[in-house]
């Protein structure tokens, strides 16, 4: 159940927030501590007014103290009087902190949410803390902690598994806790909280629409397959939109969540705990995950990087869809086969490894040029040792030497990060002849200065968003085959 946590300071604005979000929510948490004190007299009719906005909505009343992350700074005795009043004013649920002495609200007939907040970390004894919260039968134990690591997120899921018989809400606040706001059903949580767009009531809140439409909370079942994208940072990844969109389009019982990961060992613990059926790996873990794979494809071995991890009955298998994702759009624009084509490869970082392997596996003649020549030499040495068809060398000369090779270059590929945010050209001195295919894998934005300049010179161009889409499509096929394979493979 998705509850909108209101953030407005006036009652008319609270009701406006409810009306605007009503299509995606089943309940509303009225945060009375955020209301202007002059509005508090209107609380007694607010539950009814919320239901007038949209019938069937459950209403939870909360007056959060500053010590628990709220804004109530008034007298504690006044707060308790207000809490009692809420419980008699048609609120379905009332939030009472665990340390409150008995108040009338407990005798009111409203469901009590007995809450405990840790704004700094995740206590070790989560399960015991939660199970000792309720004072009376029927109370809901709510524990909101602030995980500071992926390991602490794992602890939340493990604790939830041991609380199956207790009505509970176990949440991680902040960036590490985001999956706990989405995987409500997996955690056995009674509800999850969300905020109106641009109005975050608590760290890590998503919008009701994102929870409802992107993550399809109402569709989660015991049979649902969980997938993820893992990295650091992760909040801006486009992968959840892509994969959840495709799962929804095809009616596949699978959901894909973003997970902030600070270390690979707890990532694999999380993958076991959820369990994940597969996950996409992004910066900075593409190399780190290799140590925990039990099988890897040639593409992963060659690129020494893995962007896709799949659960198999015999352990985790690593795949690198950047290789196929790079080649697919190139094949679409090339008139001639790649075999024997002369390629100028700019850059010698992580993605240059996958791109270099892709080109060599098709028999291309690759010349690497990089800002730091020693990195180019190391990459060329590794690629040459792979025993694939093509040839590889390093352009040690400065800009003049590289420019001199231009007439014989068929394809220029940029794998440096220059051009991100629309800034910079990795080779501003390079003169395009117009016969080349120019491929820039940078996709933020796709129209990089290099692409604009090459197109202006008459070159055929391939933009990085096409590689992104092709590698994501290849990943999706792998995830879909797991998600539709029938019984659980875990």
* Residues marked as catalytic: 286
Taking CB under 6 A as the criterion, the residue among 375, 377, 460, 480 binding ligand NAP is 375
**CA pair distance 153, 148, nearest whole angstrom:** 8
- The answer to whether 465 touches 435, Cβ cutoff 8 Å, is no
Task: Read off the DSSP letter of residue 206.
Answer: B
Q: Report if residue 157 touches ligand NAP, rule: CB under 6 A.
A: no
**CA pair distance 185, 178, nearest whole angstrom:** 14
Q: Report if residue 349 touches ligand NAP, rule: CB under 6 A.
A: yes
Which of 23, 372 has the CB closer to ligand NAP?
372
Structure tokens at 484: 């539709």
Which of 156, 376 has the CB closer to ligand NAP?
376
Taking CB under 6 A as the criterion, the residue among 132, 294, 312, 372 binding ligand NAP is 372
Residue span 390-409 as binding mask against ligand NAP, x where in contact by CB under 6 A, dash where not: --------------------
What is the footprint of ligand NAP within residues 213-232 (CB under 6 A)? none
Taking CB under 6 A as the criterion, the residue among 240, 347, 356, 390 binding ligand NAP is 347
End-to-end alpha carbon distance in the chain? 27
Q: Report if residue 350 touches ligand NAP, rule: CB under 6 A.
A: yes
- The answer to whether 295 touches 314, Cβ cutoff 8 Å, is yes
Segment near ligand NAP (CB under 6 A); pick from 7-15, 152-160, 205-213, 464-472: 464-472
Segment near ligand NAP (CB under 6 A); pick from 6-14, 195-203, 367-375, 431-439: 367-375
Which of 228, 442 has the CB closer to ligand NAP?
442
Handedness of CA 221, 224, 230, 236 (dihedral sign): negative
Residue span 409-448 as binding mask against ligand NAP, x where in contact by CB under 6 A, dash where not: ------xxxx-x-----x--------------xxx-----
Structure tokens at 108: 């009111």
Taking CB under 6 A as the criterion, the residue among 46, 412, 467, 483 binding ligand NAP is 467
* CA distances, 427 to each of 55, 60, 278 (Å): 62, 59, 38
Q: Report if residue 330 touches ligand NAP, rule: CB under 6 A.
A: no
Smallest distance from ligand NAP to CB 110, Å? 51
What is the footprint of ligand NAP within residues 33-52 (CB under 6 A)? none
Smallest distance from ligand NAP to CB 347, Å? 4
Structure tokens at 243: 């994969």
**CA pair distance 67, 73, nearest whole angstrom:** 10
**CA pair distance 126, 147, nearest whole angstrom:** 12
The position carrying tokens 């002849």 is 433
Long-range contacts of 15-23 (CB under 8 A, 24+ apart): 15/49, 15/50, 15/53, 17/196, 17/199, 18/50, 18/53, 18/54, 18/57, 19/53, 19/54, 20/196, 21/194, 21/196, 21/207, 21/208, 21/209, 22/53, 22/54, 22/57, 23/209, 23/212
Which of 63, 454 has the CB closer to ligand NAP?
454
Taking CB under 6 A as the criterion, the residue among 27, 208, 329, 464 binding ligand NAP is 464
Point out which residues bind ligand NAP (CB under 6 A).
322, 325, 347-352, 370-372, 375, 415-418, 420, 426, 441-443, 464, 467-468, 471
């Amino acid at each position: 159940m998705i509850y909108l946590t209101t953030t407005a300071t006036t009652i008319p604005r609270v009701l406006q927030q409810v009306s605007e979000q009503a299509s995606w929510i089943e309940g509303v948490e009225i945060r009375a501590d955020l209301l202007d004190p002059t509005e508090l007299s209107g609380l007694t009719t607010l539950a009814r007014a919320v239901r007038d906005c949209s019938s069937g909505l459950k209403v939870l009343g909360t007056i959060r103290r500053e010590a628990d992350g709220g804004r109530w700074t008034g007298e504690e005795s006044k707060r308790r009087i207000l809490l009692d009043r809420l419980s008699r004013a048609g609120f379905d649920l009332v939030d009472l902190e665990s340390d409150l002495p008995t108040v009338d609200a407990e005798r009111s007939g409203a469901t009590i949410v007995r809450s405990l907040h840790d704004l700094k970390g995740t206590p070790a004894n989560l399960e015991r803390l939660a199970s000792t919260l309720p004072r009376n039968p029927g109370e809901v134990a709510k524990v909101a902690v602030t995980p500071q690591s992926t390991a602490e997120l794992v602890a939340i899921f493990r604790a939830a598994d041991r609380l199956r018989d207790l009505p509970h809400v176990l949440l991680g606040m902040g960036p590490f806790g985001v999956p706990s706001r989405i995987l409500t059903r997996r955690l056995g949580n009674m509800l999850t909280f969300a905020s109106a767009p641009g109005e975050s009531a608590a760290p890590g809140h998503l919008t009701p629409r994102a929870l409802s439409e992107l993550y399809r909370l109402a569709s989660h079942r015991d049979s649902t397959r969980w997938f993820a994208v893992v990295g650091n940072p992760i909040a801006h990844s486009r992968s959840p939109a892509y994969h959840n969109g495709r799962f929804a389009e095809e009616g596949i019982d699978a959901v894909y969540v973003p997970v902030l990961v600070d270390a690979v060992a707890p990532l694999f613990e999380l993958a076991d705990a959820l369990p994940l059926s597969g996950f996409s790996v992004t910066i900075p873990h593409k190399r780190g995950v290799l140590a925990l794979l039990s099988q890897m494809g040639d593409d992963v071995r060659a690129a020494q990087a893995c962007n896709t991890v799949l659960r198999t009955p015999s352990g985790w298998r690593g795949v690198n869809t950047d290789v196929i994702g790079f080649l697919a759009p190139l094949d679409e624009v090339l008139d001639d086969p790649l075999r024997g084509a002369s390629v100028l490869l700019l850059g010698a970082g992580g993605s240059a490894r996958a791109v270099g392997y892709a080109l060599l596996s098709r028999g291309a003649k690759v010349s690497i040029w990089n800002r730091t020549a020693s990195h180019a030499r190391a990459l060329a040495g590794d690629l040459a040792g792979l025993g694939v068809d093509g040839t590889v060398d390093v352009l040690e000369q400065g800009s003049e030497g590289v420019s001199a090779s231009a007439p014989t270059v068929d394809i220029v590929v940029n794998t440096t990060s220059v051009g991100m945010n629309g800034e910079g050209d990795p080779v501003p001195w390079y003169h395009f002849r117009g016969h080349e295919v120019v491929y820039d894998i940078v996709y933020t934005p796709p129209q990089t200065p290099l692409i604009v300049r090459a197109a202006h010179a008459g070159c055929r161009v391939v933009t990085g968003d096409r590689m992104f889409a092709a590698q994501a499509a290849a990943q999706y096929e792998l995830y879909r085959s797991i998600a539709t394979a029938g019984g659980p493979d875990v």
